[in-house]
Chains A and B, each alone.
Chain A
């Protein structure tokens, strides 16, 4: 994937069930040769924006439709709270707003995977959300320019 300059960022908490779906999508793309970062919060975005990197972010979203729905989210709408609130919504929105103030408009595309709710101390994800990993990976890969 040398021709792809975008970095894939999967955000999620692996011990919170479906909340970890962003990490699963990122791992799927890592196995296909993409440059990938896995993280539990959005602070990684600041360093990537400072470096002027193009980012494709995958995160779980609560309230985005039936579990497993794959969504393309608008970074600016996220910052103003118009879109569905992701389980990391404030973190991602705040990180992007801070990055925008410091380094200019972030080059970011966001893929959301709708979940019902995060679980507590569960490492498995539900069948409906698991079925969304491949379509979400395909959308992220396309947004990355592969």
Chain B
């Protein structure tokens, strides 16, 4: 039996640079390597010797798509080390900022990067020509998310208003009213966007994943202290390192993360939805029911719909926060330095983002660990491709290549974040 190799030298429609090699032997995929060759970023080393107050702005530079996630995880981990708790209106403003990032990142991925796969189209340009009204609507949805980040963060990309303890400046009540009107209008468009996405043909594929996400007592999670899974994990985020280990693979600049006792796991929208659907806001819950998305879903292609549900959740949450907003007495709480180690996980659009900082009594970072969601999802993506062997083997090479790329994009991998990403190579053994 001949082996075939599917090789994608540069994966398109992903954030960053990576490649994919699949080796097929008969109808089995015997080897799947997601090669992330984005250069190593070395941020963990760069943080050593810097003031802990610099961590949110330094780590935000890891990613232009999810800088808010980096700022939120960095703030919460440093505040944990300093024994600081940010609550009330300041915490609500942080959730509001995160809503903006979920909306812009998810919408960009759903429409411009992922939807073309479901329709067999080469790119977003082809989608825009075929469904211009859908693309126009989605750009208005994304723009509303950008508007949140710009208003609260000072600018749309790499916001500059977040600090340890809160914000540099908080908005006045009157500043928020035009935004509120834009969000109410875009919420309806987000619902139409999801309903349309649910009509796209979706491959049937399921695996018995261990899905991992934060869990909050009352909220669908962005900021929370407990990490839970569909296979019984229920830990405080301080225990992350006791249960999850990272290891290097020779073909990738990204580390692979796995649960020590069980192996690969998945985080992201499908995991959050599976574990927290009971915490959704009313219109998001109704939208999930309308498109038939159930917490028992283990089809990674349906992550497209989970993202759409989360966009609706983010709009409802943002509107709720804005309607109730009363400016806090001060834009931040006082920060006093002390030695300690702090941990935090916040839910980036692609999944849980773990930060750990050890700081000395002067507040200087002695050690830092950053475990992004794409590192956590990387091995699971490879396992998806291994499990898809018979289907990929039955297809001509060009179709198999497109199918494999489609499967990788389920996870919206952020390669520049994880490098520690894509070109596809499928090898068929002789």
- Partner-B contacts on A (CB < 8 A): 46-47, 50, 94, 97-98, 101-103
Residues of B within 8 A of A (CB): 124-125, 128-129, 132, 135-136, 139, 143
Known: A46-B139, A101-B129. 18 other contacts (CB 8 A): A47-B143, A50-B136, A50-B139, A94-B125, A97-B125, A98-B124, A98-B125, A98-B128, A101-B125, A101-B128, A101-B132, A101-B135, A102-B128, A102-B132, A102-B135, A102-B136, A102-B139, A103-B136
Contacts of B128 in A (CB 8 A): 98, 101-102
Minimum CB–CB distance from B288 to chain A (whole Å) comes to 29
- Which residues on B sit within 8 Å (CB–CB) of A103? 136
Overall SS of chain B's interface: helix
Question: Which residues of chain B have C-beta atoms less than 8 A from A94's C-beta?
Answer: 125
Q: Count the A-B residue pairs with Cβ separation under 8 angstroms: how many?
A: 20
Q: List 16 A-B contacts (CB under 8 A).
A: A46-B139, A47-B143, A50-B136, A50-B139, A94-B125, A97-B125, A98-B124, A98-B128, A101-B128, A101-B129, A101-B132, A101-B135, A102-B128, A102-B132, A102-B136, A103-B136
Cα-based distance from A1 to B135 in the complex (angstroms): 34
Least CB distance from B156 to A in Å reads 10
Q: Closest residue to B133 on the A side, CB-wise?
A: A102
In the bound complex, CA of A101 to CA of B139 (Å): 13
Q: What is the distance, in angstroms, from B145's C-beta to the closest C-beta of chain A? A: 14
A98: chain B residues at CB < 8 Å are 124-125, 128
In the complex, A101→B125 CA distance in Å?
8
Q: Which residue of A lies closest to B139 (CB)?
A: A46
List chain A residues, Cβ under 8 A from B139: 46, 50, 102
Q: Which single residue of chain B is at the shortest CB-CB distance from A103?
A: B136
Question: Bound state CA distance, A98 and B112, in angstroms?
Answer: 11
Give Cα distance in the complex from A134 to B58, angstroms.
Answer: 38
Residue of A nearest to B135 (CB): A102
Chain B residue with the shortest CB-CB distance to A97? B125
CA distance A97 to B129 in the complex (A): 10
Set of chain B residues within 8 Å of A102, measured between Cβ atoms: 128, 132, 135-136, 139
User: B139 CB to closest chain A CB, in angstroms?
Assistant: 7
With the chains together, A26 CA to B131 CA distance in Å?
A: 35
Neighbouring A residues of B143 by C-beta, 8 Å: 47
Docked CA distance A113–B129 (Å): 31
Query: A140 CB to closest chain B CB, in angstroms?
Result: 26
Q: Could you tell me the distance in whole angstroms from the C-beta of A51 to the nearest C-beta in chain B?
A: 11
* 8 nearest A-B pairs in the assembled complex, by CB-CB distance: A101-B128, A101-B129, A102-B132, A102-B136, A98-B128, A102-B128, A101-B132, A102-B135
Which of A47, A50, A97, A102 gathers most chain B CB within 10 Å? A102
**Shortest distance in angstroms between B123's beta carbon and chain A's nearest beta carbon?**
9
The chain A residue sitting closest to B124, CB to CB, is A98
Closest residue on chain A to residue B126 by CB atoms: A101
